[in-house]
Amino acid sequence: MTSIAHHSRTTATPAACELETFDELESLQSEWTPLAEQSGNVFATWEWMSVWHRHFAHDRPLLVAACRTDGQLRAVVALYLFSERPLRIARLVGHGAADELGAIAAPADAAFGAWALDRALAEAPWRWQVFLAEDVPAGSALAGSLSAGTLIAGTVNPVLRAPAGGWEAYLASRSANFRQQVRRRERNLARAHRVDYRLCDDPDRLEADLDALFALHAARWGDDSVFGGLAAFHREFAAVALARGWLRLWLLELDGRAAAAWYGFRFAGVESYYQAGWDPAFQESSVGFVLLGHSIREALEDGMTEYRFLRGDEAYKSRFADEDRRLETIALSRTLVGRAAIAAEAATRRRPGMRRAAAAARSRLTSISGRLEARR
């Protein structure tokens, strides 16, 4: 079993902190997203959480814990009861679709978020047996509050910090070979085609542009893509994000035909690259690479402070990024059956050649816990 001993547990209760709990999301709507803006995390917004809850929570019990000092909202944590049989598993609202989770709080108030999670887990009425904290920032106060738990998975989370001077300053900081590739591929594409970059900013075109995104993604990755299976959720959230000014949906058109699409968000000074797709007919023209470069250039020239590639260790991300803000999935249990299930999962993941995605790990955890429950 891998412990999280490298984190320090939050031991002091934030002074004068008052806890509020709710069984729905609406009560904090007006205060929630302004708090999320301080983290730059679009997945922490009330809008993301509420759309996710409608699509995936399926009326399961919800617990929202809010921490206040002198009436000011300092942190929010949202949990729900994911399953009751064979094991009662609590999870953070937003898991799976979101690329980073945790407490919603300003960085300076991270301790309040950890305290709110501690209290929420203690007061949840579900008698949970396992709590899964998925894709939380490694080394954070919240991860530290789970120091008694087991590390189930670690995930690369590449970030590009915007240099002073924008795109050209960024290129100057990279290798000569990298600069040549970026410029040559874009130049070659312009020689062979009429190239247009189009940002979706028209609600009347949103559905058609999303159709193009999903079609291009399926053309590149196949119909079994997890992203394609979340189309209904993303269509609803994209409409909300467009209305809020957060949506970034780029289409690269060659001679009037969509050849590549880039889907992400611009929130609180941060550009986040969520998903993309491209037509395999243009594979040799590197349309995906060219559009990615364009999205980074636009973000830097518009003054974004960061460009987040989000979770995943794809090689192209490391070519552009300059930092890895690692994410962790931590499992915590307060029952013998839950601890046994977590230990079995951790042992499975240590076997040579058993490198699997965190989502698969969580599925096996549920399966293993079911077998253990049946043996009791």
pLDDT, mean of residues 263-275: 98
Residue 375 has pLDDT above 80, yes or no: no
Tokens of 350: 């240590």
Whose tokens are 């991300």? That residue is 317
Q: What is the pLDDT of residue 344?
A: 82
36-63 confidence digits (pLDDT tens) = 999 889 999 999 999 999 999 999 999 9
pTM of the model: 0.88
Structure tokens at 247: 């949506």
What is the SS3 string spanning the chain? Answer: CCECCCCCCCCCCCCCCEEEEECCCHHHHHHHHHHHHCCCCHHHCHHHHHHHHHHHHCCCCEEEEEEEECCEEEEEEEEEEEECCCCCEEEECCCCCCCCCCCEECHHHHHHHHHHHHHHHHHCCCCCCEEEEEEEECCCHHHHCCCCCEEEEEECCEEEECCCCHHHHHHHCCCHHHHHHHHHHHHHHHHHCCEEEEECCCHHHHHHHHHHHHHHHHHHHCCCCHHHHCHHHHHHHHHHHHHHCCEEEEEEEECCEEEEEEEEEEECCEEEEEEEEECHHHHHHCHHHHHHHHHHHHHHHCCCCEEECCCCCCHHHHHHCCEECCEEEEEEECCHHHHHHHHHHHHHHHCCCCCCCHHHHHHHHHHHHHHHHHHC
* pLDDT 10s digits, 77-109: 999 999 998 899 999 999 999 999 999 999 999
Beta bridge partners of 26: none
Q: Which residue ranges form the domains of the chain, and what is each CATH number?
A: 18-154+326-375 (3.40.630.30), 159-324 (3.40.630.30)
256 — alpha (psi -120 to 50), left (phi > 0) or beta?
Answer: left
Say what the pLDDT of residue 16 is. Answer: 76
Nearest C-alpha neighbor of 338 from the set 134, 128, 126, 143: 128
Q: How far apart are CA 332 and CA 329, in angstroms?
A: 10
Which residue carries 């007919």 as its tokens? 281
**In sequence order, what are the residues at sequence separation of 6 or more whose Cβ sits closer than 8 angstroms to the Cβ of residue 195?**
189, 252, 253, 254
Radius of gyration of the chain (CA): 22
What pLDDT does 334 receive?
86
Q: Angle at which helices 231-244 and 206-221 pack, to 10 degrees?
A: 140
Looking at residues 294-317, what average pLDDT do you find?
96
As a whole number, mean pLDDT of residues 257-272 equals 98
What's the rounded Cα separation, in Å, for the pair 115 and 78? 13
**247-254 and 104-105 strand pairing:** unpaired
Q: What is the per-residue pLDDT across 350-374, written as a single tens digit (0 to 9) for each? A: 664 444 444 454 455 555 444 433 3
Q: How many CB atoms lie within 10 A of CB 113?
A: 29
| Structure-model confidence comparison of residues 5 and 130, the more confident one | 130
Helices 287-301 and 176-192: crossing angle in degrees, nearest 10, is: 110
Question: How far is it, in rounded angstroms, from Cα 67 to Cα 185?
Answer: 51
| Measured distance CA(264)–CA(172) in Å, rounded | 25
pLDDT at 352: 44
pLDDT of residue 39: 86
d(Cα 155, Cα 135) in Å, to the nearest integer?
A: 7
| pLDDT, tens only, 135-182 | 999 999 999 999 999 999 999 999 999 999 999 999 999 999 999 999
